[in-house]
Amino acid sequence: MERRREGSARGRILDTATRLFYAEGVHAVGIDRIIAEAGVAKATFYHHFPAKDELVRAYLAAEYQRQRDAVEALRASVGPRAALVRIFDYLGDTGASAAFRGCPFTNAAAEYPDPAHPVRQTIADFRRWTRGLFRDLLAAAGDPEAERTATILMMIRDGIVVGSDLDDTEGLRPAIREALDRVLPPA
């Protein structure tokens, strides 16, 4: 989950937070630990992130941008149906990984139950984008009910990111492919 950012203090803080938040949960990790592991002064931390929730939002925003960038590269290289299949193949591969701890957005949502909280707003933005991506790809693939099918794909996606490390990971990929074959318009 950790991604290398510029060597700046802000980048080190965000890299450290990304690693710790994903591995242990947002509320389980304190600011002092992030400061110590990032090797920055407390004043430097607060200069970049005046509150922990701002760091959480930056962590989620960076993941959101990473996913958008990956999807845009994918969309440029394959057709819409193939893009959907590859997105779900990636979810299956990731979900079957020993390092998988769930979706960062779903995990954070569980720790921030108030839908009006700014962290939840970042999560809601990501989910709107994801549903819109599915809808747009489905429409381009010829699905006459793209909006409805996008909702079904969101449910499948959510099931993968919540349950894939709880069940038999060997059966995960074939189950995902079968679900897609049942839901997506024919190739």
Query: What is the band of 167 on the pLDDT scale with cuts at 50, 70, 90?
Result: confident
Whole-number pLDDT of residue 165: 76
Counting residues of the chain whose pLDDT is more than 70, the rounded percentage is 97
pLDDT reading at 2 higher than 50: no
DSSP assignment of 110-126 equals HH---TTSHHHHHHHHH
Domain at 56-183, CATH class: mainly alpha
Give residues with Cβ within 8 angstroms of 34, minimum separation 6. 13, 16, 17, 20, 45, 55
Q: Which residue has the tokens 């994903």?
A: 22
Q: Which residue has the tokens 């809601």?
A: 124
Q: Domain boundaries in the chain? A: 1-50, 56-183
41-48 mean pLDDT: 97
Domain at 1-50: CATH code: 1.10.10.60
Whole-number pLDDT of residue 4: 47
Query: What is the band of 6 on the pLDDT scale with cuts at 50, 70, 90?
Result: low
Residues 111, 98 contacting (CB under 8 angstroms): no
